[in-house]
Structure 1
Amino acid sequence: MEEIKKFIATICPMNDSDWDLFSSKLYKEKFKKKSTLIEIGGIEGHMSFLSKGIVRYYIPQEESDLTFGFLFENQFVTAYDSFITQTPSQYEIETLTSSTLWRISFKDLQEVYEKTKSGNIIGRRMAENMFLIKSKREISLLNKTAEERYLDLFLERPKLLKQVPLKYIASYIGVTPQALSRIRKRIT
Structure 2
Amino acid sequence: MKDPYHKILNLFPEYANAENTDKALIEQLFHPVTLKKGSVLVEENSIPGYLYFINTGFIRVYYYHDGEAVTSHINCPNGFITSFGSFMAQRRSIEIVECITACSVLRISRKDLDLLYERSPKWAEAGRKIYDQSIVYNEQRTRDILTLSAEQRYLKLLNESPGLIQQVPLQIIASFIGIKPESLSRIRRQLIS
- Give the number of equivalent residue pairs: 187
**What's the TM-score once normalised by structure 2's chain length?**
0.91
Supply the AA of the counterpart residue of 2:127: G
The residue that corresponds to 1:131 in the other structure is 135
| Percent identity between the two aligned chains | 32
Tell me the secondary structure at the aligned position of residue 67 of structure 1. strand
CA contact (8 A) 1:68 1:172 kept: yes
Does residue 1:67 correspond to 2:51, yes or no? no
RMSD: 1.5
Offset, 1:181:
1.3
Cα deviation code 1:63-122 (max 9, x no counterpart): 531112111111112211111111111211100111111111111111111121112101
1:18 aligns with 2:22: yes
Q: Which runs of 4+ in 1 moved over 4 A?
A: none
Give the aligned residue type for 1:39: E
Amino acid across the alignment from 1:68: S
Cα drift, residue 144 of structure 1: 0.8
Determine the structure 1 residue equivalent to 2:111: 107
More divergent stretch after superposition (56-65 vs 39-48): 56-65
- List runs of 5+ in structure 1 lacking aligned partners: none
Distance 1:12 1:2 in 2: 12
| TM-score, normalised with respect to structure 1 | 0.93
Per the alignment, residue 154 of structure 1 pairs with 158
Deviations 1:166-185 (A, max 9, x none): 11111111111111111112
Residues 1:176 and 2:180 aligned together: yes
| Equivalent in the alignment of 1:56 | 60
Once residues 169 and 14 of structure 2 are traced to their aligned partners in structure 1, the CA distance between those partners, rounded to angstroms, is 31
The offset of 1:62, in angstroms, is: 6.3
Give the stretch that moved more between structures: 128-137 or 61-70: 61-70
